[in-house]
Structure 1
Amino acid sequence: MSPDRSDLRLPHAGARGFLNLRLANTWQGGALIACTSVLAAMGLRLALEPVAKFYYLPMVPAVMITALLAPRSSVFLSIILAIVGIELTVRRGGVVDTAANAGLFALVALAVAEACSRLRASRDAAETLARNLAHRKTLLTTILGSMSVVTLDDDGRIRRITRSAAALLGLELRQAVGRRFDDLAPGFDATPADGSARGEEASRLWLIARAGQEPVRLTIDAHRLADDAAPERIVLTLTDQSQAEATRRQERELNDRLSSVWRLNSMGEMAATLAHELNQPLSAAAVYLHAGRTDLARIGPAAEPTVNTLDLAKAQLLRAGDIIRRMREMISNGSRAFTEERAAQMIRDLEPVIALIGQDTGVAIRIETDGADDHVLADRIQLQQALANLIRNGVDAVIDREEGRVTVIGRSLGSEGYELAVRDNGPGIPDDLMDRIFDPMNSTKTGGMGLGLSVTRSIVESHGSALVVSRPQGGGACFTFRLSRPTESDIP
């Protein structure tokens, strides 16, 4: 049934719509319709009086019109008015004849009224169904217009295709219709087996060759239509995986770079610790060697070879100390290349990683940055590593909460620099750990090495700032630091 067929409406549909608004649902309106219909029928009967003797027959249309346009109570009123009108204008032979004719008319009129009422209900149901179908058709058309959908016949030829699907396949609509789909995806077979679509086809990635364009990688889901839907028998839903693949590739590259930086930072922390711990035993060994040389020198020329050997050992110990100190100075001061960067852009470059973290954990991660005045002096990779560490720590803190969220905030402070903050609504940091959270090897997570916040603080401090932790009013934890503005001497 088509929703826009005019035969769904009776001839009086326009009047019906008007009366629905003004009269039909009120007893006053129904009474007016009944009186008007009966008066019109009486006028018709009187007009036909010279031709033939009509009594109750002209009253039947009055009852029908009332049943079609007014409530059921108005039908009884029209029947009563018709009987009264006939009896006042027609002289009968007796009471029995009058009662018999009136009763027969009442029965016939009630039967006709019931049929008209059901016709009216069927018409209203048909109009409602037509409107619903029209709305659903509009909704379905809108949805399909934004999706990549292709329908095939039993031979695998394209019968219908949406514009987005044609653009995805690199074809014009006229070129696509009638073309075999396996010409575009060699080896693809969407023919359903055993009455259902082949699941192995729907779950695979297909490389689609496009004339004059780069091939596109698609996920194709195949579904079979009912047997009476010929000639369209199979529906294909196409999903472009190119953007997802590019995002995953970018995420892998960024993760590799961040992992490399993480390892370097971890090695730097370890080197700094070793430099501090080894400095004392090396110094003590040098002192002991000097004391031994002094004792041997008192023996005389006989101990000279041993003294020379001790001098060589002492020189090597001092050289080892110098090497450790130089490595420590390089890690602390000279291993980072600071350039002029845009803080908001650095955070946006992390969005693929942030999105995957949120997707894997189910935690909402929001980014609120002010990009109007965000020029800073920073090491991009080091700073991104610091932000990634803080975001992961925030996600770990709220991962078990129903409405857990992590917010990355960036705002300009004018000449004072640009402030970055990572805030979560987790349980917060206990008081007994507030002073030790940045210490290496100090972790509240099972299996954690306790290097994340320590490395992050080292990165922030290497930028001439301080990593500050606080408790927001709404609960949770907030890590904040500032980046300085670049000066003319800092720009190469």
Structure 2
Amino acid sequence: MLLAVVAVGGAMGFRSLLEGLGQFYYLPMVPAVVVTALLARRPATALAIALSIAVNLILPPRESLSEALTNAALFAGVTWLIAEICWGFRALNSRTRDLTQQLAAKDAMLNTALASVPVVTLEANGDIRRLNPAAADLFALTEKAARGRPFIELAPGFDINAIVGSGAPGGPLEAKDGHWTGLRPDGATFPLSIQYGIVPGSTGGELIALCLTDLSRWHAADAQARELHAQLNKVWRLNSLGEMAATLAHELNQPLSAAATYLHASQMDMERAGPLGDSALRTTALAKGQLLRAGQIIRRMRELLSPEAHRLDSERASSMVEDLGPILTMIGSSKGVTIRLDVEARDDRVQAERIQFQQAMVNLTRNAVEAVGDHTAPEVVIIGRVLSDTHYSISVEDNGPGIAEDQIDRIFQPMTTTKSGGMGLGLSVTRTIVESHGGRLQVSRSALGGAAFSFNLNREPSVENA
């Protein structure tokens, strides 16, 4: 309201300045109404009109009342119309300002989205018109180097004619292999997804916009999920295998004990037969020894799986390996392989559990023999050396094909095997035995050209150093 009073007062002052030029009544009052309408609401504008009419009715002398009322009514109608135009302009200006802010916000959101999403626009012939920084980073190119190049060079197999001929305005672009392959300048490839949109009415300019997605992370996550599933399946199989092994160990102990008892009885009968039974007596003694050893292996393997600490005894490494002579001979004979022993016997006393150590050596030797079975001159050698004052080294080497680099980290995992009929437990069990002795089973390239599996045993101090 104060604005209306001030505006009318200002108009009166302006009119007084114009009195020397002639008689002005309502014309100087029009700006007061316009200013009020632009800056205030309808009540203030109505007050400005009423004050302007009152001033013109009171101050200047009038010859006729009807003329004064007519001029007042005409002024009120014209100025109210002008005020309505001003209010419309104000509303339009406010709406324009709001739309401008909304468009600016949407533009900022769109720019943010496009900054992180690779986008490429193509000309009608499939050449690259422009690409945003995200797309340039995706293909390891600069925009200048990419502009004008056929997009098929970056995505082999891409056909712009198939897109145009489809008649669809946009959508996902399907590839034959389920995904497109992106190609970088260094030859590296990556899986790619393409969404396209056709720009309406474009001829010879930007015809197609492509939105690209690098699927490398998705593929990696999918591969990780499959690997996890395989690992869970392997754990389930290992648990089942453990339960089966415990059952077999329990069930086999009785028949093994019975067979050892029968062989012992046969030995007594052969002893009564005198010299005629000596040959059979020796063979029976060997069979009885192997049965007892089988029982010990079962018992030791059960102990190996228990969480309790295992007691290591003082043993001679050369003696433990030489005792395996008959078994190693049979393993080598089955494949026509001669197994050579090169075990240093001097200062070879180590801390070991004899049965478990021998089981580990049998596993490693059998693997080596099977690896060189098809070789023209198969060779397997077991080497034992004093490594230091605290360690004695054992290795089983062959001249076979060796272990592939990509398989070295996997061969010790349970249920991993390269044999058609293997269960994938030999190296896993062997590694467990070696680790229970405080060592670490390692694989490397042998001097013979094949694989070399080696580990260290803790030495017993010699009498001189004790």
TM-score range, shorter chain: 0.5 to 0.7
Distance 1:228 1:312 in 2: 93
CA contact (8 A) 1:156 1:180 kept: yes
* Cα distance change, pair 246–265 in 1 and its aligned pair in 2 (3 A): same
* Cα distance change, pair 327–202 in 1 and its aligned pair in 2 (3 A): same
Structure 2: which 5+ runs fail to align?
A: 311-431, 437-457, 459-466
Q: What is aligned with 1:197?
A: 170
Q: Deviation of residue 36 (structure 1)?
A: 2.1
Q: What is aligned with 1:236?
A: 210
Counterparts of 1:120-199 in structure 2, within 5 Å, are: 120-190=90-160, 191-192=163-164, 193-197=166-170, 199=172
SS at match of 1:63: helix
Q: Deviation of residue 152 (structure 1)?
A: 2.2
Structure 1: which 5+ runs fail to align?
A: 1-30, 337-458, 464-488
Q: Does 1:87 align with 2:57?
A: yes
Q: What is aligned with 1:328?
A: 302
In terms of mean alpha carbon deviation, does 251-260 or 179-188 score higher?
A: 251-260
CA contact (8 A) 2:181 2:192 kept: yes
* Cα distance change, pair 106–224 in 1 and its aligned pair in 2 (3 A): same
Q: Deviation of residue 92 (structure 1)?
A: 1.1
* Cα distance change, pair 215–311 in 1 and its aligned pair in 2 (3 A): closer
Q: What is aligned with 2:330?
A: none
Q: What is aligned with 2:247?
A: 273
Q: Does 1:115 align with 2:88?
A: no
Counterparts of 1:26-425 in structure 2, within 5 Å, are: 31-190=1-160, 191-192=163-164, 193-197=166-170, 199-201=172-174, 204-212=178-186, 214-227=188-201, 231-249=205-223, 263-264=237-238, 266-284=240-258, 286-287=260-261, 317-332=291-306
Q: Deviation of residue 183 (structure 1)?
A: 2.6
Q: After superposition, what is the alpha-carbon deviation per residue over 1:61-103, rounded to whole angstroms, capped at 9, x for unaligned?
A: 2212111111111111111111111122221123222222111
CA contact (8 A) 1:188 1:201 kept: no
Scaled by the length of structure 2, the TM-score of the pair is: 0.56
Q: Deviation of residue 172 (structure 1)?
A: 0.9
Q: After superposition, what is the alpha-carbon deviation per residue over 1:266-286, rounded to whole angstroms, capped at 9, x for unaligned?
A: 434422332123223433454
* Cα distance change, pair 189–94 in 1 and its aligned pair in 2 (3 A): same
Q: Deviation of residue 199 (structure 1)?
A: 4.0
Q: Deviation of residue 166 (structure 1)?
A: 0.6
Aligned length: 307
Q: Deviation of residue 293 (structure 1)?
A: 8.0
Q: What amino acid is aligned across from residue 137 of structure 2 in structure 1?
A: A
Scaled by the length of structure 1, the TM-score of the pair is: 0.53
Q: After superposition, what is the alpha-carbon deviation per residue over 1:239-284, rounded to whole angstroms, capped at 9, x for unaligned?
A: 1223444454456566656755664454344223321232234334
Q: What is aligned with 1:439?
A: none
SS at match of 1:49: coil
CA contact (8 A) 1:202 1:221 kept: no
SS at match of 1:154: coil
Distance 2:17 2:203 in 1: 58
* Cα distance change, pair 298–250 in 1 and its aligned pair in 2 (3 A): closer
Q: What amino acid is aligned across from residue 48 of structure 1 in structure 2?
A: L
CA contact (8 A) 2:124 2:203 kept: no
Query: Which 4+ runs in 1 deviate beyond 6 A?
Result: 291-294, 296-301, 307-313
Distance 1:52 1:189 in 2: 82
RMSD in angstroms over aligned alpha carbons? 3.9
CA contact (8 A) 1:185 1:206 kept: yes
Larger Rg: 2
CA contact (8 A) 1:268 1:331 kept: no
